A and B are shown apart, each in its own frame.
Chain A
């Protein structure tokens, strides 16, 4: 890959990340600010407007610093290092910026907000949530496909004894066995994730969140299926390449990669534009009512990013910062799922590194 393509990828990454950070305050639920609940009445305060102005300025500065660091190193002849270091600066800088603004936002929460957090609302709906069927189907399909490809890759190792070939052949199928079923599992958990409803009449809030949750479930299910299909294709092509059956991965692999990436991005942009955080853009009618059910309780959120409540049986809950859902780190099942994913990811990376380095 030449330096220009690497620089192009880096530029795209900076624009996507900073663009998302710039858009976030516009799609956030009313009453939430940088992962802190400050109450609906505080949303229009001058202090909030000043904070938002500082945030936009901070995002522009983050972009400038990331470009400066990345391109300075890249133009000195180390394009890959420039890309990596620039990305690290972008992500760490973004995290520091967020934490700084989160702590400033928490100071804006009036004492009444703590009282509101003690109220919870639940709809009296029976039956499985919308999207559960597709999520189950995606999980079964991803498991079946990734196991089949993994077994095929194992069988293709016949006659290949070197550790390096083993690592190259097994890397993508192992990754697929991990990522696509996990994404489908996330879809299934999303279908049953905890909604954070507004008090008062609550009706529109329930509908808005149900629509958002069903859409996110479908997006996650289709993402899992697309990733699984692409990685299965990539696995087969890599095996054929290493067995010298083809000269290169082929145009269809690259076109598929671009198509999968474009479809996932388009889906996310559609959710951002049509729904906002947790369906916030659909609940305009009842957006003035106080937020309830955990999302309003600042004490249950660490840095506005990690939800921890041992009494709450929910595995996933709506995120406070960003779009979608996050784990309840006070729940044993959630911790088990996250820990299993991390251990298996580490195992796959170790497998490849050991294979290549030996």
Chain B
């Protein structure tokens, strides 16, 4: 069974920890399109956090196209877009560039950066394939 884990001792806000994990689970295919997620109340209760924290994470992911929030049907995982719009692509690539710059400044070499990027992409695809096999 898939689970979410939060750690209040981390610097990352809880809503961001929730969003990061859900984002990865969707991207890796562990959560496939159309899969229902727990309601805001249920997830907030299970994690012992404020309702607004989970609502904020869900809204963020809805804005990014990962989730669809419906009043009655609850929260479901969205289908991935068929093609990326150029404005969205530019914005996301800018974020990747910023992250790469931070990693380089933190001391990672070009080889290390390439290895890490390759590993993460394969990991994401591997998660999806494993899920399909199940």
Contacts and interface: CB of A to CB of B under 8 A. Distances in A.
A127 interface: yes
B38 A122 contact: yes
Contact of B44 (A119, A197, A202, A313): A313
Contacts of B8: 118-120
Interface in B1-43: 1-9, 25, 31, 35-39, 41-43
Of the four ranges (under 10, 10 to 19, 20 to 34, 35 or more), the interface on chain B belongs to: 20 to 34
A199 B9 contact: no
A197 B35 CA distance: 23
Contacts of B6: 119-120
A206 B48 contact: no
Nearest to A315: B45
A120 B48 contact: yes
Interface in A98-149: 115, 118-127
B45 A314 contact: yes
Nearest to A293: B48
A203 interface: yes
Interface string B60-76: 00000000000000110
Interface of B is mostly: mixed
Nearest to B14: A120
A126 B72 CA distance: 13
B98 interface: no
Interface residues of A, number: 28
Given A194-B48, A195-B46, A123 B2 contact: yes
B47 A207 contact: no
Contacts of A203: 1, 3
A128 B54 CA distance: 18
A213 to B, nearest CB: 12
A207 B45 contact: no
B3 A206 contact: yes
A40 interface: no
A124 B2 contact: yes
Contact of B45 (A115, A126, A194, A202): A194
A294 B44 CA distance: 12
Contact of A312 (B7, B43, B49): B49
Contacts of B31: 124
Given A127-B36, A294-B48, A311-B50, A122 B4 contact: yes
Contacts of A126: 35-39, 74-75
B93 interface: no
A120 B37 contact: no
Contacts of B9: 115, 118
Considering the complex of A and B, which 6 residue pairs feature the smallest CB-CB distances, nearest first?
A: A126-B36, A122-B46, A118-B8, A314-B45, A312-B48, A124-B2
5 contacts: A115-B9, A120-B47, A120-B49, A121-B3, A122-B38
Interface of B: 1-9, 25, 31, 35-39, 41-51, 74-75
